[in-house]
Amino acid sequence: MESQNVWLLPVILFWPAVSAIFVLFSNNDRLIKWGSIVASLVPLILSIYLMSAYDYTAGGMQFEVRAPWIESLNASFHLGADGLSVPLIFLTAVLSTLSIYYSAGTIRMRVKEYFCMFHLLMMSMFGVFMALDYVLFYVFWEISLVPMYLLIGIWGGANRNYAAIKFFIYTLIGSVAMLLAILAIYFVTGTFDIIDAAAAKPFADFPPDRALLLGSLVFWGFFFGFAFKVPSFPFHTWLPDAHTEAPTAGSVILAGVLLKLGAYGFLRIVLPTLPVASQYWSQWVVALGAIAIVYGAFVCVAQTDLKRLIAYSSVSHMGYVMLGIGAAANVLTPEGQKAAMETFNLSQQTVMDSAAMAINGATLQMFNHGIITGALFLLVGVIYERAHTRDLSLFGGLSTKTPHYYGLMMVAGFASLGLPGLAGFWAEFFTFRGAFAIVPYWAAFGAIGIVMTAVYILWRIIQNVFLGEYDPHKLHHWTTVYGEEADGPTDMALFEKITLWPLVIGMFVLGIYPTFILNYFNGSAVSILAYIQSLYS
């Protein structure tokens, strides 16, 4: 299989770069927009083929490509995909295509630069999910900062400069910490290859106390790099500003994909490479995840800006990811497993099954959060294009005026609060099923967030925006999505519906049959845990 498809990952990775070059040499805005839409379909189609060609029953890395790159650094061009990265590559392609299509109907200023930045951003996100060399991983990680910084700083809202600089500085601080951790791994193992470095068991030959100290320093270097990106509480403060000021499609990609890069780093690098340090500090990861769930949900209740509310909901929902990862990390080592078995009177099989379920919940939440929150930010953009405000106190009674918009917001909102039958339910269910067996007290605390999520979705969004009587005096100035004056709120345009329909369909499909994605994630979770177990055998 690998020999027949070695072309697949490089083509998906570099096609957006080719698209960006096409945009740079084009001067017709209409050609740039439609050419970008068509070009984005290529990695989307190939990512669908990638999912169908990947053998999740066999698991492991497939479609690997390895070639010399910077020999003086011992860095190689090493790409690969497994059950963790394949769905995330697909998610990136889907959200990128939909965002580009939506942008074609809404972006009117500096069109060439906008779509060029979007293609480069797409390439960098693909690169992070494919890279199996630390240097390559870091290069694509850093590249993703620049396009998003420019998208916020040029096409953002009134406070775009402040939000863009804050986003860049926060994430750059995390990147520097991660770079130091990467160098430490290289000095100990002698390789930049992510798989080989983990197999070399860094610090295993050191005395136990020194190994734990050095492993912990490297762990926290990676932690800060990835936690700023997630963003984990309390490193989240850049996120609401970035989301609020970013253009709609920028918010979709920021929430739908860029936040997942940090969580992906924990699962791809930290757990397999530093299992002892991960287990030792796991309670901190669990605590920060549970606090983020509850804190983010409570802050959402207090918001009056619709987009800022959805931004804080990302802090809350990404807390589930950290809770699941932390719960699994708690039982990575034999000592951690023994402690869980004795404390809660569980068998080793139950403990490891719970760890796998916690990882499944975290990874499924990464995917589901992408489609749900991506849809919510698109829906915020729909109303903002018409009302030019996101103040929740100025709306009301829109259910009768904009029924299609109301219906899509209801589905996305209920999926976000975890209603059974929609995508959000299964991610939360698996996360808590795994976490309650390992860290029950923190899991119980995090469950408060489920209740508060229902409060802000039903009260702050559904009731404030759609229910009650429509009062034309609250917001008397309306336009259409095309900027024309309108007598009142107008329902969604066709291109807006087309953008939202695939995401809404995905919410129903994954709510009814999550196995479609879980087949990939579960194989990856089992492989990660089995690999770490083999280090101690």
- Banded pLDDT at 1 (limits 50, 70, 90): very low
Structural domain includes residue 267? no
- pLDDT above 50: residue 3: no
Structural domain includes residue 447? yes
Cα distance between residue 245 and residue 311, in whole Å: 11
- pLDDT above 50: residue 2: no
Asked if 514 and 411 count as a contact pair (C-beta separation under 8 A), the reply is no
Structural domain includes residue 55? no
Structural domain includes residue 201? no
At 272, list the tokens: 């397999």
- pLDDT above 70: residue 529: yes
345-372 per-position pLDDT tens digit? 888 888 888 899 999 999 999 999 999 9
- pLDDT above 90: residue 34: yes
Identify residue 467 by its one-letter amino acid code. L
Identify residue 272 by its one-letter amino acid code. P
**113-127, 164-178, 314-328, 463-477: lowest mean pLDDT where?**
463-477
Structural domain includes residue 132? no
Domain that holds residue 359: 281-537
For the chain, give the percent of residues with pLDDT over 70: 99
Cα distance between residue 228 and residue 280, in whole Å: 21
- Report the pLDDT value the prediction gives residue 4, as an integer from 0 to 100: 65
Tell me the C-alpha to C-alpha distance, in Å, between residue 392 and each of 147, 309, 465, 496. 30, 10, 6, 21
Cα distance between residue 296 and residue 298, in whole Å: 6
Structural domain includes residue 421? yes
Structural domains counted in the chain? 1
* Side-chain half-sphere exposure of 20, counting CA atoms within 13 A: 17
Cα dihedral 352, 354, 359, 364, rounded to 10, equals 140
Number of other CB atoms surrounding residue 311 within 10 Å: 29
- Banded pLDDT at 82 (limits 50, 70, 90): very high
Structural domain includes residue 181? no
Asked if 64 and 79 count as a contact pair (C-beta separation under 8 A), the reply is yes
Output DSSP code: residue 131: B
Average pLDDT of the segment spanning 326-342: 85
- pLDDT above 80: residue 23: yes
Tell me the C-alpha to C-alpha distance, in Å, between residue 323 and each of 257, 355, 446. 19, 11, 8
Average pLDDT of the segment spanning 255-265: 92
Output DSSP code: residue 396: -
The distance from CA 383 to its chain's CA centroid, rounded to whole angstroms, is: 24
CA angle 271, 272, 278 (to 5 degrees): 30
For the chain, give the percent of residues with pLDDT over 90: 65
Q: Is 84 exposed, middle or buried (0-12, 13-18, 19+ CB in 10 A)?
A: buried
Grouping H, G, I as helix, E, B as strand and the rest as coil, residue 49 is helix
Tell me the C-alpha to C-alpha distance, in Å, between residue 291 and each of 185, 267, 314, 318, 362. 30, 20, 13, 11, 16
174-215 per-position pLDDT tens digit? 999 999 999 999 999 989 999 999 988 898 888 888 889 999
520 contacts: CB under 8 Å, gap ≥ 6:
51, 54, 56, 83, 84, 86, 87
Structural domain includes residue 20? no
Higher per-residue confidence, 41 vs 481 = 41
SS3 for 467-488 is CCCCCCCCCCCEECCCCCEECC
267-283 per-position pLDDT tens digit? 999 999 999 999 999 99
109-155 per-position pLDDT tens digit? 898 999 999 999 999 999 999 999 999 999 999 999 999 999 999 98
Specify the DSSP element, H or E, that contains 152: helix 145-155
- Banded pLDDT at 233 (limits 50, 70, 90): confident
Mean pLDDT of the chain: 91
- Report the pLDDT value the prediction gives residue 159, as an integer from 0 to 100: 87
Tell me the C-alpha to C-alpha distance, in Å, between residue 498 and each of 105, 254, 490, 502. 12, 21, 17, 7
Cα distance between residue 391 and residue 45, in whole Å: 39
